[in-house]
Chain A
Amino acid sequence: MSDRILDDAQEMLADSVRKYVERGYGDAVRQASIEHPHGCSPERWEEFAELGWLALPVPEEDGGLGGSMVDICVIAEELGRGLVNEPYVASAVLGAMLLADAASATVRMQWLPGIAEGSLRVAFAPWEPGARFDMGAINTRAEPIDKGFRLYGEKTLVPGGAGADAYLLAARLADSGLLGLFLVPAAAAGLTATPRVFYDGQHATQLRMDGVEAVEALTVGPVAEVLTLLEKAMDRGIVAHCAETVGVMRRTFEITLDYLRTRNQFGRAIAANQVVQHRMVDLYVEIEEARALTRAAGSVLAEQGPNDASLRCRYSAAAKACVSLAAKHVWEESVQLHGAIGMTEEYAIGKFIKRLALASTLYGGAESQLERLAGVSFGNAAVCP
């Protein structure tokens, strides 16, 4: 349905991203991005920069456009529709915004203008092996040395990590009980970045820190304080990821609906069967709700600022749970309604299905998010500050 919630400028933005994707992001372009060792075509990233999309999440004082979360969601949704493979959400939104939140003026000046113009890319490494999507499970150690720290530990599956110029990661300060957030250049000695590929073709990285020398921490503080900083950033990443996934779902739904209208069995279109119609209605309603809740979460984060922790947490957790459940429902039904052809690599729907399956789990699936939401309703400080 047409949206009253978008103002004219946002409608124009959505329209321009959609046109770019329709004209310039076909199957061959996507395939080239998937096959690029970084899962990110440099030419496309440059185009994103020229269009201002990379500058949007960067504050104005750092050479960016200081766009709102609602604007970011508009872009992400359209990129999702086009099944764009470049790590817009992971790198341009989550990574860049965390850096802007945490870094000193000097570090911001070094990195953010380059991020906005597409010459630099950072990624946040939120998780460690064996702890699911729990950002608080940090075993990476930071040992103080003369000048700065030395880092030891492991971070698993860094979205947008392939080809990043630097990684943001948290480590425990030895003996002090404090947490630090560090910026580690990709070229740092002692850092091993192992490429990983998600099953839908997006790229990630596994990091191993073996005495990496980090000159200084972006920030050091009590555990709860630093975790709150990380969660604020992660909630923006989550909501942008929800918007992207909503775009993927909408396109998947359209493809499936087209298929059902054109494929004939027993002398009539499959879509003529009421049982099929009702199932499509269920998907339609779930997608519309997921979209509305994501937009609501976007405006909560944009307007309320991320300072009201419980409101922020409530909406981002609810949106992600809603989107995760919807994504799962949409991809499973899309396979079933397509029949055997829905299970093939060569048919268009396959790529959408894999992206949705991944998206329903990435950044924490429904169960994790519902527990987080319950934390807001019934209390559990450890889960949600």
Chain B
Amino acid sequence: MLQSAELMDFKQQVRSFVRTNLPPDIRDAVRQGQQLPRERQIAWHEILAAKGYLVPHWPREWGGQGWTVQQQMSFDEEMCTNDAPELNSITFDMIGPVLVRYGSDAQRKRFLPAIASGRQWWCQGYSEPNAGSDLASLATRAERRSDYFVVNGSKIWTSYAQYADWMFCLVRTESSAKPQQGISFLLIDMKTPGITVRPIVGIHGWVVFNEVFMDDVAVPLDNLVGEENHGWTIAKSLLEVERLKLARIGENKRRMARAREVGLTRTEAGQRLADRPWFRQRFAEVEMRLLALEANAGRFIDRAQAGLPVGAEVSMLKMRGSRLIQLWEELTVDALGPEALTLNLTVLDPATPPTSRDSIAATASSRRFLARGYTIAGGSSEIQHNILAKQVLGL
């Protein structure tokens, strides 16, 4: 849509920064759809941190840039469309802002500079085998002793736990009548004795998920965030800008570019796919939906920019943005046809150089399976429907 000259300049700056500073091996791995090992991801964090681009959305005193909402959104979009790796939102968008808002002075001083340096990785211990979207029914327990909690239980679907130095974790500290009460928010050092991490290989071939077992894990009382038994409020709180980011405009544009490239490079019946009516209709429909999402997100950005709360309606951005990612990946595999029916797992390993054959096709099926996670994680689409029905339509 229409943008001011300043915003265009800003985007240009970000773009030239990424293009100049993103190491080629990382860029190629992202394009290829390879899972980056922890060290390469950290290397990129450090490059961003040096420029002040790792936590621009944080408050200035903790390393933020004081950008407008619009600038933050544009920043993310430029990063994405130029093949920078997705940053771990658990670390930078969740625990960072949570500590800024709810952490003690000591906790902030201890953790925020470490996160902002790019070297500390966090994972989120929310879901459990019997508590997926319904977090209030979680069963991991923490018992308070004189100077520490003893935690027992297990977490599952813990993304990137195998990379993590720390985990923020929801634990039950009191078995009270209401399931949402009696939950506390603890920070747990992953090196604490009693923690076992079991990686879970996904249908996409990546190791994103893990199961985390905690067996008499001792957690210092200082690692409790906020008040004991009031962790639920913290868990629910996601800052406004982070909610806007869930529209995933940049990630959608990156996928649109891939689908487009397939359309321009593959043929059928002697025509480019881009000239085949079925491909044109499907591509154009998803493109139209992306334009609609972008226009819709624009209204929320304007609201946030004016200092107004974005409100519960913002759930619709997450709902639509996540679905669109799936539509792009589905179109891409359908367009590739036979090329996307195989997946050689070695191409997912960044130790393997990108295949000369074709990086889009090599991992298309993996990306398509990965995309299913977007409508499940972070409040499934069905949960978003419930939120909108209840809080917006008043049903």
- Spell out A's residues near B (CB within 8 Å): 1, 3-5, 257, 261, 271-272, 274, 277-278, 280-282, 284-285, 288-290, 292-293, 295-296, 299-300, 303-304, 314-315, 317-318, 321-322, 366-367, 370-371, 373-374, 377-379
Contact = CB atoms under 8 A, between A and B. Distances in A.
A145 B71 CA distance: 62
Interface of B: 1-2, 260, 263-264, 272, 274-275, 277, 280-281, 283-285, 287-289, 291-296, 298-299, 302-303, 305-306, 308, 311, 313, 316, 319-320, 382, 385-386, 388-389, 392-393, 395
Contact of B280 (A281, A293, A296, A378): A378
13 contacts: A4-B303, A5-B302, A284-B388, A284-B392, A289-B295, A290-B292, A300-B1, A300-B2, A314-B291, A318-B292, A366-B285, A374-B274, A378-B283
Q: SS class of chain B's interface: helix, strand, loop or mixed?
A: helix
A314 B291 CA distance: 9
Contacts of B302: 4-5
A374 B291 contact: no
B281 A370 contact: yes
B295 A370 contact: no
Contacts of B395: 261, 271-272, 277, 280
B274 A378 contact: yes
Given A285-B320, A378-B275, A371 B287 contact: no
A374 B288 CA distance: 10
Nearest to A294: B295
Contacts, number: 123
A314 B2 CA distance: 13
Contacts of A379: 274
Given A5-B299, A277-B386, A374-B283, 5 more contacts: A285-B319, A288-B316, A289-B316, A293-B291, A378-B263
A207 B2 CA distance: 40
Nearest 8 interchain pairs by C-beta: A4-B302, A374-B280, A296-B295, A277-B389, A370-B284, A292-B295, A289-B292, A292-B296
* Interface secondary structure of A, over-half rule: helix
A290 B299 CA distance: 12
B299 A292 contact: yes
Nearest to B260: A377
Contacts of A374: 274, 280-281, 283-284
A288 B281 contact: no
A292 B298 contact: yes
Nearest to B389: A277
A378 B305 CA distance: 35
Contacts of B299: 1, 3-5, 292
Of A257, A289, A318, A367, most buried by chain B (CB within 10 Å of CB) is A289
A277 B289 CA distance: 22
B292 A293 contact: yes
